[in-house]
Each structure stands twice: as structure tokens, then as C-alpha cells.
Structure 1
Amino acid sequence: MRVLLVEDDRMIGAAVTEALKGAAYAVDWVQDGELAIEAARSETYEIVLLDLGLPLVDGLDVLKSLRTGATRVPVIVLTARDALGDRIRGLDLGADDYLVKPFEIGELLARMRAVMRREGSGASPILSNGKLHLNPSTREASYLGDRAVLSAREFALLQALLSRPGTILSRSELERHIYGWSEEVESNAVEFIIHAVRKKLGAMAIRNVRGVGWMVDRSS
């Protein structure tokens, strides 16, 4: 899952980026409002984490820009502005949630999962096609009786596939869900991760469509 983090504080930005990577998110981190608007226009994100006190363009103006676009990306505001009026304004402008600094990473991750569940029309937090099951809160996967806890990148890859059962995802599409801008991608990284998942869950957990990409079966 790809996340846009908009945060001008270098210490907070670096800490949140590392925590998100450890939780299996691909993170693109920008530090001013102009870059945030440009990134949102050029890339597709599953969620945006948005500070308000930004250089060049204020966070609330970034939020307005996001809400005037064609896409409806979920936005969680992360800010030190704790006044009731600021929270009300942010929510009225279209923020999906509002988290006041300082915050615990565990709470941020839980709020991200909750927002994504709402975007999925209240679906269960467990992703499943009937045979393959994936728990985002524990990173545990199971397939026909085999169970395993996945690494961050194994989880990110399987989450991308299981979010769209029956859809073939190419190498570049899978890389997009696994790696952020600043991360170097090795040429055989996707194959290596898929091999690791199959070793844990069985060879049929992920299907290869030769010359096209990979998929998991449609829901049964």
C-alpha cells in the first residue's frame, strides 16, 4: 500500500517513514505543500498523512486541492494544532481523521487501518478470497491450512494481490506497492519475494501468468 507523507519536521518525518516501512507500507515523503500537491497529481496513493503547518502551501490548502481533484484519496491530518476550531475546519474540508501530535505510531497505524476499512465500505479487516487469508494487524497469512507471519515486503506484495483477486498485477505495479521513491529496487526483487511467500504458504498461493504478471484466485 502506497502512502504519501507530508511533514516538514525532519525528525518526525524520518521516524514516521521508518515506522511505516516497518509496517509494510511504501512511503513517499515530501516536506512542503507544493511538493505534496505535485506528488498527489503524479502518483496514485491509497492514503495521505498530512501535516498542516507546511512551507510554501499550508496543509489546509493542500487538503482543499486534494478534495477538488478527481480522486477521493483518504487523508489523515497529523498536526500540533489541537484547537477545536482547527479540528472542525480540517474535518469540514474533507479530512477523514485528525491526529494531534505527539502521537503513538501504534495509534496512527490503527487509525490508518480504520480509515481504509471505511473506504472499503466497512469490509472485514481480514483480506480473503476464501482460501487465502491475510490479517493486516498481525501480518499473518494462511492458505489451505498453512500459516505464516510475513515480512513487511512479503505482506505488502500479498496485500496488493489479495486486494484485487483475479486481477493480474505486473512487476511494476507490485513494485509500486512495495517500494517508495527513495528505495532502490533490485531487478529480481518481486520474484524473490513471491518465492519467499510461496515457500511459507505453498506454491499455489500466488499464480504466475507467464509474461504478464502474478495474481491470486478470485473469491471462491
Structure 2
Amino acid sequence: MATDDKPGSRRRGRPPATDSAATREAILAGARKLFGERGFGPVTNKDLAAAAGITTGALYHYVESKLDLYLEVNRDMQSQIYEQFQKAEASEHTFIGKLEAVLEAAHVMNKQDPTLARFVGVVRTDIRRHPEIRERLHSSDERREEFFLRLVDCGTETGEIKPEHRPLVRAFVSLILVGLTEGNSSSIERHRRAIDSVLGVLRGELVSPPPEPAG
């Protein structure tokens, strides 16, 4: 971790008296908020330590570098999001039902903890700006693709999606979730409206073919 301390002053701090698990959670939560607000580059280790309520030296007991902490925040974020997504999609038995449940879960998470969606959004920018992040986050992309594939496969099994349309529907689902995160997550009202608009289109409630011309 690039440090703000003087050269030669870096050392591992002893764990604080508080419970290690609680301290690690505070580090992850504080780092997720800071990275989500500023991106990877501008955040310093002094910022990260202050956000967790510990010293910079103590931070080294839990993480080796700023990059390692960023990756750990990403793993924790992915775990939280996909745990809720998997519960949501397992509660339904159709493609539209599963997608609706996943979108509702995303909305609930965004209301409860906006830092999750903000961090998801900033990761996409950081991946483009920082090759070291891009090289290490390939596996999270694979996990997302696997999740989308399961949703679409359900649709082909129920007859909602034609087999030849699988790639298009998968791209559609990916676009929806990415768009909700990057374009609408900062406003709960806009996020809710965006979800309702997507579901309205899927159900055929908002858009329909134009009427046949008379005569």
C-alpha cells in the first residue's frame, strides 16, 4: 500500500483491543464508501484507516496494500450482492419472475446500503484506469456472466425465451443491471422508476406494436 508515512516508518500494528472481525468489517465498510465516492486513485491509506477508526499502522495488520484492500472490498461486495440475488431468483420459477425478484432485491439493497451500488459503479471506471485492478478482477466478471446465464437458461426451459435468442437476452439482462447501477442508483426514486419501466416493458404494459393501418 502506498503510504503517507515517512520512509522507513511502515510497520504492522497490533490488532486493536476490539474484536478483529468487527474491525475488519469497519475497514471494509469504510473503504467501500471511500472508494465508491472517489475511486481507487485518490484514496490514501490514512483516509482508509481514519474511516475505520484505526491507525495507519494498525491497518497493515489486516491488509497488505491498498490494492489488496480494494480487491477484498470487491469480493465482499460481490458476496453480499450475489447472496441476495441468488435468494431472490431461487424464489421464482420463471425468467420474468426471477428477473423481477432480482431487480427488487437490487432496489432493497440500494435503499439499505447505497455504498454497494456506488462501489459497483466505480469499479467499472477503475478497471479502465488501472491495469492492476483489471488483471485481478477477471473472476468477478465470470461470476456475473454465470449468474446471467442461469437466468436466461431458466427462460429457455420455461419457453419464455427461444434458444436462438439466448445471447440477445443475456446481453439485455446485463445491460439492465449495469444501467441501473451506473445511471440510477444515486436516486432511490429514479432507481424505482427505472425498475418499474423495465418490468413494464417485459410484461408488455408499456410498449406494443403499432396498430395495423386502416383499409
- The question of a shared fold, defined as TM-score above 0.5 by the shorter chain, is answered with no
Higher share of residues assigned helix: 2
Larger Rg: 2
**The structure with more strand, counted as a fraction of residues:** 1
